[in-house]
Amino acid sequence: MNQAAPVPKENQGEPVVRIDGRLKVTGQANYPADIATANVAYGALATSSIARGKVSKLHTDDARAVPGVLDIITYGDMDKTDKPKFGNTGASSIAPLHDRTIFHDGQIIAMVVAETFEAAEEAAMLIRADYEDDPPSASFDSKGAKVEPAAGKSPMLKEDVKVGDFDTAYASAAVKIDQKYSTPTQHHNPIELFSTTAIWQGDQLTIQEPSQNVTGWKIELARQLKIDPANVRIVSPYVGGAFGSKGPMTARTAIVAIAARRVGRPVRCVVSRMQAFNTQTYRAETRHRIRIGAGKDGRITAFGHEGWEVTSRPDSYVVGGTSATGRMYNYGSVLTHISLVHADRNTPGYMRSPPETPYVYALENAMDEMAVALRMDPVEFRRVNEPEKEPIGGKPFSSRSLVKCYDQAAQAFGWSKRDAAVGSMRDGDWLVGMGCATAIYPTASAPCAARVRLTADGQVRVQCGSHEIGTGVRTVAGQMAAERLGIGMDKVSVEMGDSALPPAPVSGGSISTASVCSAVLKACDAVRGKLFAAAVAGDGPLAGSGNAKLEMEQEKIVASGGKSAKLSDVFKAMQIGAIEEYAEFAPNGSTPEALKKLYAGQAEFHGGDQDEDSVKYAFGAEFVEVRVNSYTREIRVPRIVGAFAAGRIMNTRTARSQLMGGMIWGIGQALHEATEIDRRNARYVNRDLQDYLVPVNADVKQVDVILVPEIDLDVNPAGVKGLGELGNVGTAAAVASAVYHATGKRIRDLPIRIDDLIA
């Protein structure tokens, strides 16, 4: 049996193989730095070695003397451009070459352009800077770090989430906990390196760069360069992993564009793994205080969640996960507050389930503690607190299958065989622990355009400026068209990753499948409309079937009465060779400007907690078995089971892979991943894949994904909830709970390491 291709259940699509699978296994899929570019020169960055201060003098003579060096872009050279903006499209407002202020370690101080990669690297290492340095603030508790309320600092968090009288409820609760949790700085570390290639042809600029937002970047880059967006094209046909890191554009893109204009030839800058830690975004470290009060029956009466998040000096990046944690269960009262801590760091950004990963980790670890305090089974504790409506605004959930997820995952996992007593389960020298946690992710969608062409010989081409970052969106968009137009997948091609295509929103927030498929669906329906009209027309091949229900299958139009007409015959009757339709999708509740904003690279998100009628979330339940060696205390995860309900599943193969990958990410979050900071000087220490650990093959044994059928017609026309980010929410809490079950030690600060268990 091929586990990669789960048999579809109700409302689930076929496990069609990836449309780009062959290209990817033969090395023919072109990631941006792979695209053959004639006469290309190579860029290499030089970066600061202090986190705060000013560059008083830059020594570039040695670098310029390296044979093959063409140019060095540094202070003054970007003056005719506008500074980057922090926001949905821009990673940071820090404009590294616009002035000499250093805001963080590893800030760009120059870029060398040379004939060869080797010469560029050699020269970049020869650039020296003199600094006027000030003592930096590294993080929480650092002298000089500025703490302020997060609410109002970001459109993501207009006000802190609250309801009812928390203080009174908590004070009078029969059982309560009050604990602190933390999550570390983490970097996405997609295996593809970050890169920019800039090519000018006259006043036309083409940027080849891995991107999750080609339309947004086109607009933003044109703004920075003060040129017409019509002259800018962003090309990103394949993206070698993103996880949020390639969503916001960084300052480098404009620098490489300027360099290419200066040297009069294409310039490619592939950023080193180390430099990426500082010049891209990352997951902010967070701290949490959680208070839960409940009656002896386990019903929660008070939920308090305070969060603290590190961000840069100039930018207020808000992680902000209380919207989800505050709506998770049937709390009697909710009080939350989020604070930002401004430190001398690069600006963080979104990383796979940005708010939920840290905030739900804290909540779910606390839920397990609370279950222990109540002497309740942790699954039962969650069942008791299952809400009818979300507690903050009293709105219904568009659908919520959490209990079903728990039931199915618990059964598959064998939860009933767990002995609840701490330290009671053993296998030889290994302590066995079992834990569980809830996964939640808001379901959103955004305006999206797509173009679909069907030719008389049954070839379908789908065009959409979305991004194949590994999610399978190229495949499912093709599947949607193939199904709707009755064409085999082998005759479908899908073009994505190019700002010259119909615009799509940023591929983030798990919105792509819903948004793209809704637009493709609409375009296909327009094609069908034209074909159907021609087929049933007086001279059409299905003349007289005007009242019949028409479908398209196997390159035919089939009427409900049984009559059918070959596609080619319909085209012949129409005397045309192709039908091409351009469609725009906008979610329910979109503002009148929604589509205009799509073309401006500012697609509005709808769904989650934003809609009037209901709140929209996908849910899951994850169960983890850990083993802790009784001597040496290393922690291993031999088994993990997750059950997830996410509306219509377009393709059980790609869906399972995404969720599986997410759960393994969760194992990494729990046990491996942390960017370490030297607090004396606010510098990252482990800036590579030798010391920034992510799970390897041997860390992963059995991973079971259960796709729980769910139908939700409210979320969007495609009925799809996203699941790219759902899988790694909650996992770390399930691991922490399992470690507690095995050892009796409650670890609240991630990652959980031998260090915590050995003493």
Q: Which of residues 603-642 bind other proteins (CB under 8 A)?
A: 629, 631-634, 636
Q: Nearest to residue 104, comparing CAs of 284, 308, 286, 352?
A: 284
| Binding flag, residue 759, other proteins (CB under 8 A) | yes
Minimal distance, residue 683 CB to other proteins, in Å: 8
Minimal distance, residue 28 CB to other proteins, in Å: 7
Minimal distance, residue 351 CB to other proteins, in Å: 12
| Binding flag, residue 702, other proteins (CB under 8 A) | yes
Judged by CB under 8 A, the number of residues near other proteins is: 103
| Binding flag, residue 135, other proteins (CB under 8 A) | no
Judged on CB neighbours under 10 Å (0-12, 13-18, 19+), 127 is buried
| Binding flag, residue 117, other proteins (CB under 8 A) | yes
In the set 306, 483, 581, 725, the catalytic residue is: 725
3-state secondary structure of 269: strand
> How many angstroms separate the CA atoms of 72 and 596, rounded?
39
CB 313 within 8 A of CB 103: yes
Please choose, out of 268-276, 326-334, 391-399, 521-529, the segment that lies near other proteins by the rule CB under 8 A.
268-276
Minimal distance, residue 23 CB to other proteins, in Å: 8
Q: Nearest to residue 181, comparing CAs of 328, 367, 318?
A: 367
Q: Which of 29, 227, 373, 543 binds other proteins (CB under 8 A)?
A: 29
Is 272 or 588 the residue whose CB approaches other proteins more closely?
272
Is 361 or 571 the residue whose CB approaches other proteins more closely?
361
| Binding flag, residue 27, other proteins (CB under 8 A) | yes
| Binding flag, residue 147, other proteins (CB under 8 A) | no
Q: Which of 51, 242, 431, 527 binds other proteins (CB under 8 A)?
A: 242
Written as one letter, the residue type at 597 is K
Judged on CB neighbours under 10 Å (0-12, 13-18, 19+), 394 is exposed
Is 541 or 695 the residue whose CB approaches other proteins more closely?
695
| Binding flag, residue 201, other proteins (CB under 8 A) | no
Alpha carbon distances (Å) from 126 to 43, 72, 472, 646: 14, 12, 43, 53
| Binding flag, residue 190, other proteins (CB under 8 A) | yes
Q: Dig out the tokens for 263 from the structure.
A: 């040297």
| Binding flag, residue 39, other proteins (CB under 8 A) | yes
| Binding flag, residue 193, other proteins (CB under 8 A) | yes
3-state secondary structure of 370: helix
Alpha carbon distances (Å) from 319 to 155, 305, 355, 557: 11, 14, 5, 50
Is 462 or 703 the residue whose CB approaches other proteins more closely?
703
> How would you classify the pairing of strands 300-311 and 334-342?
parallel
| Binding flag, residue 533, other proteins (CB under 8 A) | no
Minimal distance, residue 275 CB to other proteins, in Å: 11
| Binding flag, residue 21, other proteins (CB under 8 A) | yes
Is 53 or 668 the residue whose CB approaches other proteins more closely?
668
Minimal distance, residue 94 CB to other proteins, in Å: 20
> How many angstroms separate the CA atoms of 319 and 340, rounded?
9
Judged on CB neighbours under 10 Å (0-12, 13-18, 19+), 27 is exposed
Q: Which of 49, 182, 339, 411 binds other proteins (CB under 8 A)?
A: 49
CB 682 within 8 A of CB 661: no
Minimal distance, residue 471 CB to other proteins, in Å: 7
| Binding flag, residue 279, other proteins (CB under 8 A) | no
Q: Dig out the tokens for 218 from the structure.
A: 């086109």
| Binding flag, residue 30, other proteins (CB under 8 A) | yes
Is 422 or 693 the residue whose CB approaches other proteins more closely?
693
Is 174 or 758 the residue whose CB approaches other proteins more closely?
758
Distance separating the N- and C-terminal Cα atoms of the chain:
45
Minimal distance, residue 657 CB to other proteins, in Å: 5
- Burial readout 251-260 (b: 16 or more C-beta within 10 A, e: otherwise): bbbbbbbbbb
Cα dihedral 697→703→709→715 (10° resolution): -40
| Binding flag, residue 548, other proteins (CB under 8 A) | no
Q: Nearest to residue 496, comparing CAs of 519, 479, 473, 522?
A: 473
| Binding flag, residue 172, other proteins (CB under 8 A) | no
| Binding flag, residue 141, other proteins (CB under 8 A) | no
Is 92 or 275 the residue whose CB approaches other proteins more closely?
275
Please choose, out of 142-150, 226-234, 270-278, 432-440, the segment that lies near other proteins by the rule CB under 8 A.
270-278
3-state secondary structure of 518: helix
> How many angstroms separate the CA atoms of 198 and 209, rounded?
9
Written as one letter, the residue type at 135 is P
Q: Dig out the tokens for 544 from the structure.
A: 């007289």
Q: Tell me the DSSP string of 197-243.
A: EEEEETTEEEEE---S-HHHHHHHHHHHHTS-GGGEEEE-S--S--T
Minimal distance, residue 288 CB to other proteins, in Å: 23
| Binding flag, residue 4, other proteins (CB under 8 A) | yes
Helix pair angle (652-671, 731-743), 10° resolution: 50
Is 559 or 655 the residue whose CB approaches other proteins more closely?
655
Minimal distance, residue 645 CB to other proteins, in Å: 21
Cβ atoms within 10 Å, residue 691: 12
Residues 371-410 close enough to bind other proteins by CB under 8 A: none
Mask for 415-444, x = binds other proteins (CB under 8 A): --------------x---------------
Give CA 491 to chain center in angstroms: 30
Angle at 478 between CA 586 and CA 498, to 5 degrees: 65
| Binding flag, residue 191, other proteins (CB under 8 A) | yes
Written as one letter, the residue type at 584 is E
Please choose, out of 29-37, 256-264, 552-560, 569-577, the segment that lies near other proteins by the rule CB under 8 A.
29-37
Give CA 343 to chain center in angstroms: 25
| Binding flag, residue 732, other proteins (CB under 8 A) | no
Minimal distance, residue 236 CB to other proteins, in Å: 12
What is the C-alpha radius of gyration for the chain, rounded to an integer number of angstroms? Answer: 27
| Binding flag, residue 698, other proteins (CB under 8 A) | yes
Minimal distance, residue 479 CB to other proteins, in Å: 14
| Binding flag, residue 57, other proteins (CB under 8 A) | no
| Binding flag, residue 700, other proteins (CB under 8 A) | yes
Minimal distance, residue 243 CB to other proteins, in Å: 7
Cis peptide before 348 (omega within 30 of 0): no
Is 407 or 704 the residue whose CB approaches other proteins more closely?
704
| Binding flag, residue 690, other proteins (CB under 8 A) | yes
Cβ atoms within 10 Å, residue 744: 12
In sequence order, which ranges of 227-303 are alpha helices (DSSP H)? 252-263, 273-279
Mask for 647-666, x = binds other proteins (CB under 8 A): ------xx-xxx-xx--xx-
> How many angstroms separate the CA atoms of 725 and 247, rounded?
14
Q: Is 220 designated active site? A: no
H or E segment to which residue 513 belongs:
helix 512-536
Residues 449-508 close enough to bind other proteins by CB under 8 A: 468-472
Please choose, out of 196-204, 255-263, 361-369, 699-707, the segment that lies near other proteins by the rule CB under 8 A.
699-707
| Binding flag, residue 688, other proteins (CB under 8 A) | yes
Which residues carry out catalysis?
Answer: 725
